[in-house]
Amino acid sequence: MRQLAEALGRDGAIVCIGNELRGDDAAGVEVARRLGGEMPWPVFDVRHAPESFLMKIVRARPASVLVVDAVPFGAAPGTVRLFDPEAVTGQGPSTHGPAPQMFLRALRMMHTCHQTVLGIQPEQTEVGSPLSEPVSRAVDRVIHALRVLAGRIADGRDPSA
């Protein structure tokens, strides 16, 4: 929880990437859908075209950006891990296309901010399939953690406490 709070901070933005037609690749999209407008941070549901949202994100001027995406990193399905964007390089592309690192590089050129990738290990990304049970549980954990952090901010507390 502390690492997530430090990655997002009080003035961050959440960028959710994914393709809802490809099973577990919809993890980021599902996080955005379930967070709705209840967060103290702007939530961008960029689906499979994050580059189309660059200017909206830049205009929000976040101090940090948390990218939520299905990222294959060789762990058990549903494992959630925070990555430095450069660490995702060796992992290859995400399940829907180029790694989120390319989007983050473009963002960095337009707006300097701290960047972190919250990767969820997919189990399957078959076209037309639903979220797998392990990834659905991972989405639940991510939503819960973000709501706890939002509550701390709303109460005027340090979110990393």
The secondary structure of 85-98, three-state, reads HHHHHHHCCECCEC
At 100, the pLDDT band (50, 70, 90 cuts) reads confident
160 or 126: which carries more pLDDT confidence? 126
Residues 20-29: tens digit of each pLDDT: 999 999 999 9
d(CA 21, CA 147): 26
pTM, two decimals, is 0.90
Residues 4-18: tens digit of each pLDDT: 999 999 999 999 999
- Whether 66 is covered by a domain: the verdict is yes
- Whether 141 is covered by a domain: the verdict is yes
- Whether 90 is covered by a domain: the verdict is yes
Domain that holds residue 22: 2-150
Question: Is a pLDDT exceeding 80 seen at residue 114?
Answer: yes
41: CATH = 3.40.50.1450
Which of 30, 65, 25 is closest to 48 using CA atoms?
A: 25
Average pLDDT over residues 70-98: 76
- Whether 31 is covered by a domain: the verdict is yes
- Whether 159 is covered by a domain: the verdict is no
CA atoms within 13 A on the CB side of 138: 28
| Structure tokens, 85 | 């964007």
d(CA 161, CA 150): 12
